[in-house]
Amino acid sequence: MSHAESGEAVADREEPRGDPARPVTISYIAATAGVSVPTVSKVINGRSGVAPDTRAKVEALISQFGYRRPAPTVRSNMMELVFDQLEHMWGIEVIRGVERVARQNRVGVVLTEFGPEHNAIHYWIDDTLARRPDCIVSVAQLSDEQRDLLRARGIPFVVFDPTVELPDGVPFVGATNWAGGRSATRHLIRLGHRRIAMVAGPDRVLCCRARLDGYRAAMEAAGLPVEADLVVRAELTTADGHAAAVHLLDRPGRPSAVFASNDLQALGVYRAARELDLRVPADLSVVGFDDLPVAALVDPPLTTVRQPLTEMAVAATELALALGRGETTERIGLELATTLTVRASTAAPAG
């Protein structure tokens, strides 16, 4: 590994002991011991998951080289917001919440985007360690190695809306996705719909699995079968929502209602319905998820589950800044409630 704990690269394998201009780094110790940077970080922080002989070797090198945890530095008055890919209105709502809290605390915000090809991800951690922000709010999902490097450097972070299961102790802010999926489906059932389809998101995304499980729970509680051909998985885009909806609607025995995993997919359902001469909601009821600003502007206005994105971003930023100040917080995992916003895209089924 070439990530230097002090922000500079380790140029060679020469022992730096005795040279105050070249302090020993975690990366140097890892390279000398023949182990990974996260392994050295675990030893330094007293964490489990390291074999006894490996721990002994690393501890001996730490003692030999005189490694010391970097002393706290003056606060930078800067935080970092990290996106995997910044697109659509979803990200704008997150930025709005982060900026609101940052302004109140007179903290600057560095915005980082890995991009569709993830070109920036290889250099991001080095640049961040060199910048030493007070804290990080990460919409992108950090790897174990990146989390360990940030911990070793004393840079706290909060994961926004995690898409994968996180290890215990990782701070996060999310939403009640399962409850949201159930409330959307219950709404359609109460209107009288019995053949309800779902455009589900990718199975690899934790929130999408939760929304699908909420849909299934509501259907089963109402005694309605969850038919395999009524659930289509699609990426969280308008184009993929459109393709999934065409598959569901352009056939005999089509559903009378569709619940989409997000508002962008729901817009794709609208487009497919228009192409097939189906009226929303007279012929097809549609429910989305997120409640992006566009949901109230389309025709007809979209019934959707409101995920409080701006409020989630506010909570994540407040938590991250508190951790950056060294404060002890009562909770490091928060889930904000989702609510159903009923508009004009849902109605009782025809007939």
Per residue in 295-343, pLDDT tens? 999 999 999 999 999 999 999 999 999 999 988 887 889 999 999 999 9
pLDDT at position 153, please?
Answer: 86
Please give the pLDDT value at position 69: 61
pLDDT of 100: 96
- 163 has pLDDT over 70: yes
pLDDT of residue 42: 78
Q: Is residue 6 scored above 50 in pLDDT?
A: no
DSSP H stretches of helix in the chain: 26-33, 37-44, 52-65, 88-104, 121-131, 144-152, 177-190, 206-221, 238-249, 263-275, 309-324
**What is the rounded average pLDDT of the residues 140-156?**
88
pLDDT reading at 147 higher than 50: yes
Per-residue pLDDT at 51? 87
In angstroms, the CA 122 to CA 133 distance is: 18
What is 177-308's CATH topology?
A: Rossmann fold (3.40.50)
Q: Is residue 157 classed as helix, strand or coil in its secondary structure?
A: strand
Task: Check if 78-175+310-336 and 177-308 are the same fold.
Answer: yes
pLDDT at 117: 66
Q: What is the pLDDT of residue 23?
A: 57
Q: Is the pLDDT of residue 2 over 50?
A: no
Structural domain boundaries of the chain? Answer: 1-71, 78-175+310-336, 177-308
Residue 303: strand pairing partners = 287
Q: Report d(CA 199, CA 212) in Å as an integer.
A: 9
CA distance 57 to 16: 18
How much is the average pLDDT of 59-65?
82
pLDDT at residue 36, as a whole number? 85
The answer to whether residues 334 and 118 touch, using CB atoms and an 8 Å cutoff, is no
User: What single-letter amino acid sits at 2?
Assistant: S
pLDDT tens digits along 198-229:
999 999 999 999 999 999 999 999 999 999 99
Assigned superfamily of 1-71 = lambda repressor-like DNA-binding domains (1.10.260.40)
Q: How confident is the model at residue 131 (pLDDT cuts 50, 70, 90)?
A: confident
For residue 20, the model assigns a pLDDT of 46
The Cα–Cα gap between 182 and 180 comes to 5
Q: What is the pLDDT of residue 271?
A: 98
The length of the chain in residues reads: 351
Residue type, 85: Q
SS3 string, 306-351, reads ECCHHHHHHHHHHHHHHHHCCCCCCCCEEEECCEEECCCCCCCCCC
Pick the CATH number of 78-175+310-336 from 3.10.20.740, 3.40.190.290, 3.40.50.2300, 3.10.310.10: 3.40.50.2300
Q: Which of 206, 265, 264, 263 is nearest to 231 (CA)?
A: 265
Q: How far apart, in Å, are the Cα atoms of 66 and each of 20, 25, 26, 149, 161?
A: 11, 10, 11, 19, 40
Output 95 or 52, whichever has higher pLDDT: 95
Composition of the chain by helix, strand, coil, percent to 5: 40, 15, 45
pLDDT score at 71: 52
